[in-house]
Homo-oligomer: A and B are copies of this chain.
Amino acid sequence: MAILVVGSVAFDSIETPHGAVDHCLGGAATHFSLAASYFTDVRVIAVVGKDFTAEHEAVLTRRGVDTCGIERANGLSFHWTGSYSGNLDEAKTLGTDLNVFETFEPKIPAAYTDSEYLFLANIDPVLQARVRSQMPKVRMVCGDTMNYWIADHGANLAKVLSDLDTLLINDGEVRMLAGERNLVLAAEKVLAMGPKTLVVKHGEYGATAFFSDRSFGGDTKICRPFRAPALPLAEVVDPTGAGDSFAGGFYGYLASQPVLTPAVFRTAMFYGGVMGSFAVERFGTERLQNVTRQEIDERFKLFQEISHLDYTGA
């Protein structure tokens, strides 16, 4: 079933120990869409400038992503400049040019209104809430955010959180949002803010899902947390978009399944890790454009092999 994603389609200028790229296609909605496109239909709501060419659009459309919700505005596209050093575990932002994103008013094309899954990528929670309110009938809403919105836009973010099925954020963000250093206690506090389920991304250490008694609808049995591994990688070329690619693999798989069960959720966590592990192998979206379904399936098995006691190579 189709996912509607709202978020940034942007250009990134990135420097890592493996090289540098200037103005390569990026943005949370881009990474998310490409990763999710291997599992289900994806529709994008975003705004771009005149620098977004047919060639850039083709990166998405070649993967079957519906781009009719990408608005063209006068001006330049959102542009992020950043660098990574050492273990590539933290980005240093050198510049954030919002450009056309500064006055973005998301509009939902009529053809998108039957989307059953909504993903609110990391943008201003005011915009997240606006899109959410225009999609009252979706089956599931999943969202992301970041330290900037947590620190200075708490009231707006609280409204978004109050109505989320799943929140996907990283360790630092969940601790900051909860004001609590212990991950389990922080997760409890965040779940009390609204999300039925919380997925915490740990970068190279994988991810943990924390469930509430609302996670699986009528089944009020509280699930144990679930830990999905990350693949130990000898070479991380560019970590930009790894979290969005995790979200795309995770949510794409969820949306491809008829019913949300604990088993489906766990499998989705693994697919999230799989897509994140591909994303970082090349700069920008290069790897996510060209991965094959067979490679995805093989890596999924590899994730089982590296984490399951009884893996027999089946």
Contact = CB atoms under 8 A, between A and B. Distances in A.
A91 to B, nearest CB: 15
Contact of A309 (B204, B232, B263): B263
A182 interface: yes
B266 A224 contact: no
Nearest to A227: B229
A167 to B, nearest CB: 16
A249 to B, nearest CB: 15
A253 interface: no
Interface residues of A, number: 40
Interface string A282-311: 000000000000000000001011111110
Contact of A270 (B202, B204, B234, B309): B309
Interface string A159-197: 000000000000000010000011111011000000000
Contact of A185 (B181, B182, B204, B234): B234
A188 B175 CA distance: 33
A263 B311 CA distance: 9
A234 B236 CA distance: 32
A225 interface: yes
A202 B204 CA distance: 11
B270 A225 contact: no
A204 B302 CA distance: 23
A87 B309 contact: no
5 contacts: A184-B234, A185-B234, A226-B306, A229-B307, A267-B309
Given A208-B232, A270-B309, 15 more contacts: A87-B182, A182-B233, A182-B235, A184-B233, A185-B234, A188-B234, A205-B206, A224-B302, A225-B232, A227-B306, A229-B229, A229-B307, A267-B309, A307-B308, A308-B309
Interface of A: 86-87, 175, 181-185, 187-188, 202, 204-206, 208, 210, 224-230, 232-236, 263, 266-267, 270, 302, 304-310
